[in-house]
Structure 1
Amino acid sequence: MAHLSQLQKLKLAITVGALVVAAVHVIWPKLAIDAITLGLVVVALLPWLAPLVKSVELPGGLKVELQEVKDAAGKVRNAGLLEPSANPERIEHTFLQVAQRDPNLALAGFRIEIERRLVALCERNGISAKNRGLGYLLRALSEKNLLTPEQSSAIADLASLLDSATHGASVDPAAAQWALDIAPELLESLSRLISPTGPKTFVGAQQPRFAHEGDFWVQE
């Protein structure tokens, strides 16, 4: 083994160790070959297969499912953040152009555009947003009644799913499409909070500070 590199020795040690444990597990009469044994065999093989595989998705692995996105989108809609204006501004969002080719990249772009608008809303209302995360921005906007608690919670839930996609989670194609379908309306709605240009609909226990004449406010 003198000619083996440190990495190869480590791989060999992992393989031998896992196989020994698997053998002991099988030898005992009351122990059958089950998922545990199978898992140990997989562990034994993985170090040698590493150069051949890009990733391994284990049970319980990170994945964005359609129902999760539907639930998050429903919260966003119920919070009044998907109400179109009378004369919506037509914006060609660049992240939508890559949706078919790379949905994870498109969702990451959607996440960036959400945060960019929250930063602008903070700065417009005297809230320091430099080097602040999205969670801080939402709390600050909610504390100043610039977002209702329902709106803040809805955006946080959606952003969490978008973060998962940004960090490489497997995304159901239907889930990606569902999220991107609401992107133009949500971003337009956030832009109107920065520069109000028409009636808006809010849902919450307290009237938002930024509400204007002509807006709709639905009390819970």
Structure 2
Amino acid sequence: MEIAKLVLEYIQTLIWPGIVLFIAIYFKKETSALLGRIKSAKLPGGVSFDLNEKILEVEALSNEVQETVTAKQEEHKGKPTIPLTEANARLIQLGLRPSPSGMDMNYYLDIARQDPNLALAGLRIDIDILVRNLAKGIGILVDEKRTTVHLLKKLLETGHIYKNQYELAVKVLSVCNQAIHGFPITYGQAQAVIVSAEALVDDYIAWMSWGFDDNWQPQRNS
């Protein structure tokens, strides 16, 4: 019965990406003309930003975060790190929701070659799941009505993430939200955001590997 429940939860994580994919393909002709000529996005309230400038900020923050991750990996040198092939199994083992991509950013890079906006929409869903998992995993009450940014603020205030991680996650989410709202994204822009988000995923995998006292060990191939 427990296995059936876990399988159902896993399927549920795939429903929204599938719906977004269907809509994107079905209405591709109708949306392409509308999205083709917009260079910069304008947020509600009249606040505008240049997308390329924001992506440059995302890349700079990603480099900062990656330095932190590298230092953490050095600190835990010799300890096993969860491979991507076991990432979702580990999440389920911890009672958390699996990732639609299995935390493999190549999944979204492949989608971006066909539809950059759809790739960032999927990444947005993935980050939401991972943030809620992190909050739940460290004992923060996760109210489904709370936004992902609210949970990120909680994680920052309680010292579970660094300021640059918070800023990177918020900026990545902002670009992804623009993609969801229909602002055109090129493959190069989507690629930059997805690759930058990998620094967050790397630290997340580190947490899954070493953040629990259950003596996790990688599966041994016979």
Deviation at residue 173 of structure 1 after TM alignment? 2.8
1:55 aligns with 2:69: no
- Shift of the 77–161 alpha-carbon distance from structure 1 to 2, 3 Å rule, reads same
- Shift of the 126–116 alpha-carbon distance from structure 1 to 2, 3 Å rule, reads same
- Shift of the 125–66 alpha-carbon distance from structure 1 to 2, 3 Å rule, reads same
Structure 2 unpaired stretches of 5+: 1-29, 43-48, 86-103, 213-222
CA shift digits 1:9-41 (9 cap, x unpaired): xxxxxxxxxxxxxxxxxxxxxxxxxxxxxxxxx
Deviation at residue 138 of structure 1 after TM alignment? 0.8
Moved more, 181-190 or 152-161: 181-190
Structure 2 counterpart of 1:165: 179
- Among residues 109, 113, 119, which one is paired with 1:96 in the alignment? 109
Give % identity: 22
Structure 2 counterpart of 1:78: 64
Deviation at residue 120 of structure 1 after TM alignment? 0.7
Rounded Cα–Cα distance in structure 2 between residues aligned with 1:98 and 1:197: 31
Deviation at residue 54 of structure 1 after TM alignment? 4.4
Alignment of 1:125-144 (within 5 A): 125-131=138-144, 132-144=146-158
Deviation at residue 60 of structure 1 after TM alignment? 5.6
- Shift of the 142–58 alpha-carbon distance from structure 1 to 2, 3 Å rule, reads closer
Rounded Cα–Cα distance in structure 1 between residues aligned with 2:161 and 2:67: 10
- Among residues 191, 196, 200, which one is paired with 1:186 in the alignment? 200
- Among residues 125, 136, 151, which one is paired with 1:123 in the alignment? 136
Q: Which amino acid aligns with 1:166?
A: I
Alignment check: 8 A CA contact 1:72 1:154 kept: yes
Structure 1 counterpart of 2:99: none
- Among residues 40, 65, 68, which one is paired with 2:51 in the alignment? 65
1:113 aligns with 2:107: no
- Shift of the 125–58 alpha-carbon distance from structure 1 to 2, 3 Å rule, reads closer
Q: Which has the higher contact order (CA 8 A, sep 6+)?
A: 2
Deviation at residue 104 of structure 1 after TM alignment? 0.8
- 3-state SS in 2 of match to 1:100: helix
Query: What's the C-alpha RMSD, in Å, of the aligned pairs?
Result: 3.3
- Shift of the 59–175 alpha-carbon distance from structure 1 to 2, 3 Å rule, reads closer
Alignment check: 8 A CA contact 1:64 1:165 kept: no
Structure 1 counterpart of 2:164: 150
- 3-state SS in 2 of match to 1:78: helix
TM-score by length of 2: 0.55
TM-score by length of 1: 0.55
Structure 1 counterpart of 2:22: none
Deviation at residue 143 of structure 1 after TM alignment? 1.3
Rounded Cα–Cα distance in structure 2 between residues aligned with 1:104 and 1:59: 14
Structure 1 unpaired stretches of 5+: 1-50, 199-209, 211-220
Q: Higher helix fraction: Structure 1 or Structure 2?
A: 2
- Shift of the 96–88 alpha-carbon distance from structure 1 to 2, 3 Å rule, reads farther
- 3-state SS in 2 of match to 1:75: helix
Deviation at residue 117 of structure 1 after TM alignment? 1.1
Alignment check: 8 A CA contact 2:39 2:50 kept: no
Alignment check: 8 A CA contact 1:83 1:185 kept: yes
Alignment check: 8 A CA contact 2:108 2:123 kept: yes
Deviation at residue 61 of structure 1 after TM alignment? 4.7
